[in-house]
Structure 1
Amino acid sequence: MTSVNSHISSTSVPETADPTGLHRVLDDRVVLPQAAERLDTRRELWPDEVRVRVERLNLDAASFRQLEGKHDHDGDAVRAEVLDIVATRGKMQNPETGSGGMLVGTVEAVGEESPLGLEVGDRVATLVSLSLTPLVIEDGLAGWDGKSEQVPCDGYAVLFGRSIAAVIPDDLDPALSLAVMDVCGAPALTARVVAERAARERGDLVVAVVGGAGKSGSLSLAAAKRAGATRTIGVVPHEREAELLLDAAIADEVVVADARDPIALRDAVSAAGGPAHVTVVCVDVPGCEGGAVLATADGGTVIFFSMATSFSAAALGAEGLAADVTMLVGNGYVPGHAAYALDLLRSSPGVRRLFEGRL
């Protein structure tokens, strides 16, 4: 691992930095760090960069599920592949899913031209993907068993001028803050879409969240209700998840359905008061596109937050069904999203119980 990262860092240094991180891309062609095969992981900073001493990684759910399935739940094999990906690419980007995750750490160096407003000693969570963040792991992930998304880690990462990071609040456990910030884009965009619809239309406003007992799903249910939804429907895959969501008391209706079965999902949402005016997809398995479209009323909106989504399947499926729906890609960023998600957690005991139970 060390030798690979040393090799990556031995290339010539660009004279100027680009706020998007282009100066760290080692590919022969010009691509953004997200699309790059390899990133420069040198410790030395360009003037607008920040270096973070990493304490914990939070792997993207779709990425972790893929790795876990590939290695038949062998934690040692999962850990070895994560180490290999980071050493080879200079970042944590699953080559199958293309996704990464995020991290928690402490700022250890700040370039004199950094626009991020961070100071040495700040404990932060990064709100940009590990799939574009230069990363070096220095402890071999010795404290991780390879069986959970949250990964204790010692190493360092580099943030660019256009990266995003939030200082971790003092009143929450860092692992809890990390779990919330990992999915904070979902509730913020859900709230925006629901509030805009509530402002321009009168009458019922039904919101269905597929994967409602998960991290992004539970926050999205709470956000939808706060933003003006008159009925919220939480869709879960089995009875155990239904019990958790019912106990949390954050959905008006809870239904069990396989989101990969389009007819079952449509019928479950319809029986609970649908079709939905807004459908939010928060599950981390492929094949949910058709059901989400069918569960949504004409003129409605589908928000896809899962990295397992096939956007070609969604677009072609909607066309084939003659469905008049607007489809949005949740890109993980809405201004103020971290503070908003943390406020939802603090104000909703049910959401907090779900999160703490998953930790």
Structure 2
Amino acid sequence: MMETVATRGKQHNPVTGSGGMLLGRVAQIAPLADGKVARVHEGLSVGDRVATLVSLSLTPLRLDGITAVRAESAQLDVSGQAVLFESGSLVKLPHDMPERLALAVLDVAGAAPQVARLVKPEMTSVLVLGGGGKSGILCAAEARRKLGPSTGARRVIAVESYPRYADELRALGICDAVLGIDARDPVAMRRAVLEANDGREVDVTFSCVNVPDTEMAAVMATRDRGIVYFFAMSTSFTKAALGAEGVSKDVDLMIGNGYAEDHAAHTLAMMHEFPAIRALFETRYG
């Protein structure tokens, strides 16, 4: 990472193309050309603890050193400086939440609000690939809220191949089925989804996996005129588009956008509304 930042001037992962986000303390707030403060910086003061809501692949960075590597939560403690532009979103850290929990939650803050927008009352089934990860759990929880309590005909189905995460997701009780299927096997996954959904393809699929070659699984499990939303940066949109064409699937393919209006507030509020999820995230990332 030190080499990446030194070479590229930012944390632009050469493998995934993504960069994550950061927590830091405001060192300086520069005025705009007209002397005013940018809207995104209103209410902030020097010394405030903030979290960035824009990828570090877009954020100018200087790293002076890495003081801790937290592999379990995929977090690092570093010393350095970052430059945040007027167009880059950030949020003051909440006082009622541990910083590491806030970092984990805000890293995927755009996921749940997109679910809230895309899952409609007339829909009956939602599929989440990578359902046991941070974004996957939040997507499943939001889908459950939008569909309402499980009635047998309104289902939230998740796919999670990592046994521990699958068990933790089942324990939350927000999914009607958690399938321990490798999403890189589209035929096996489609069969499992059909079995879990009374032989029907799902209305909308959210792909939150962090591995490549899962595009066809998402496409093949979704009904014609349904929606496939790729939140994962590991997605090959060439594979998704040409794959859908190759199997004659008339689905809307959507590129995940990590920004949605008020997405930080929406996602932080979920930590109060779903205490079991907060407790799980605190165990994993806090």
Match of 1:277 among 203, 209, 215: 203
Give me the TM-score of the superposition, normalised by structure 1: 0.73
Q: Give the 5 Å matches for 1:80-119.
A: 82-113=1-32, 114-115=37-38, 116=40, 117=42, 118-119=44-45
What CA deviation, in whole Å up to 9, does each residue of 1:215-243 have, x standing for no partner? 00000011112223631111111433221
Aligned match of 1:265: 189
What CA deviation, in whole Å up to 9, does each residue of 1:174-232 have, x standing for no partner? 100010000011111111101xx32xxx3x52001011111000000111122236311
Q: What displacement does 1:148 show?
A: 5.1
Aligned match of 1:243: 167
CA distance in 1: counterparts of 2:113 and 2:15, whole angstroms: 28
CA distance in 1: counterparts of 2:244 and 2:220, whole angstroms: 8
CA distance in 1: counterparts of 2:276 and 2:124, whole angstroms: 22
Q: What displacement does 1:147 show?
A: 6.8
Q: Do the aligned partners of 1:211 and 1:217 also contact (CA within 8 Å) in 2? A: yes
Q: What displacement does 1:108 show?
A: 1.2
What CA deviation, in whole Å up to 9, does each residue of 1:22-62 have, x standing for no partner? xxxxxxxxxxxxxxxxxxxxxxxxxxxxxxxxxxxxxxxxx
Match of 1:233 among 133, 157, 179: 157
Match of 2:50 among 114, 117, 124: 124
Aligned match of 1:175: 100
CA distance in 2: counterparts of 1:105 and 1:353, whole angstroms: 24
Q: What displacement does 1:358 show?
A: 2.0
CA distance in 2: counterparts of 1:147 and 1:122, whole angstroms: 27
CA distance in 1: counterparts of 2:73 and 2:277, whole angstroms: 20
- Residue 134 of structure 1 aligns with an amino acid whose one-letter code is P
Q: Do the aligned partners of 2:60 and 2:82 also contact (CA within 8 Å) in 1? A: yes
Q: Give the 5 Å matches for 1:321-336.
A: 321-336=247-262
CA distance in 2: counterparts of 1:341 and 1:174, whole angstroms: 15
Aligned match of 1:209: 128
Match of 1:142 among 67, 91, 106: 67
Match of 1:343 among 264, 269, 272: 269
Q: Do the aligned partners of 1:213 and 1:354 also contact (CA within 8 Å) in 2? A: no
Larger Rg computed on CA atoms: 1
Q: Do the aligned partners of 1:261 and 1:288 also contact (CA within 8 Å) in 2? A: yes
Q: Do the aligned partners of 2:72 and 2:284 also contact (CA within 8 Å) in 1? A: no
Give me the TM-score of the superposition, normalised by structure 2: 0.91
Aligned match of 2:151: none
Aligned match of 2:221: 295
What CA deviation, in whole Å up to 9, does each residue of 1:65-99 have, x standing for no partner? xxxxxxxxxxxxxxxxx001111111110123221
Aligned CA distance change for structure 1 residues 94 and 239 (closer, same or farther; 3 Å)? closer
CA distance in 2: counterparts of 1:350 and 1:209, whole angstroms: 19
Aligned match of 1:155: 80
Q: Do the aligned partners of 1:266 and 1:291 also contact (CA within 8 Å) in 2? A: yes
| SS at 1:143 equivalent | strand
CA distance in 2: counterparts of 1:326 and 1:347, whole angstroms: 31
Between 185-194 and 219-228, the greater mean CA deviation after superposition: 219-228
| SS at 2:69 equivalent | coil
CA distance in 1: counterparts of 2:17 and 2:131, whole angstroms: 24
Which structure 1 residue ranges, 4+ long, deviate > 2 Å from structure 2? 142-148, 227-230, 238-242
| SS at 1:356 equivalent | helix
- Residue 12 of structure 2 aligns with an amino acid whose one-letter code is Q
CA distance in 1: counterparts of 2:14 and 2:162, whole angstroms: 30
What CA deviation, in whole Å up to 9, does each residue of 1:121-152 have, x standing for no partner? 221100001001011112x2033366752000
What is the number of residues matched between the two proteins? 271
Q: Do the aligned partners of 1:256 and 1:268 also contact (CA within 8 Å) in 2? A: no
Aligned match of 1:44: none
Q: What displacement does 1:246 show?
A: 1.1
CA distance in 1: counterparts of 2:140 and 2:70, whole angstroms: 32
Note the residue ranges of structure 2 that are not aligned, 5 or more in a row. Answer: 149-153
Identity of aligned residues (%): 48
Between 267-276 and 120-129, the greater mean CA deviation after superposition: 267-276
- Residue 30 of structure 2 aligns with an amino acid whose one-letter code is G
CA distance in 2: counterparts of 1:293 and 1:266, whole angstroms: 9
CA distance in 2: counterparts of 1:345 and 1:111, whole angstroms: 33
- Residue 168 of structure 2 aligns with an amino acid whose one-letter code is L
Q: What displacement does 1:286 show?
A: 0.2
CA distance in 1: counterparts of 2:276 and 2:201, whole angstroms: 25
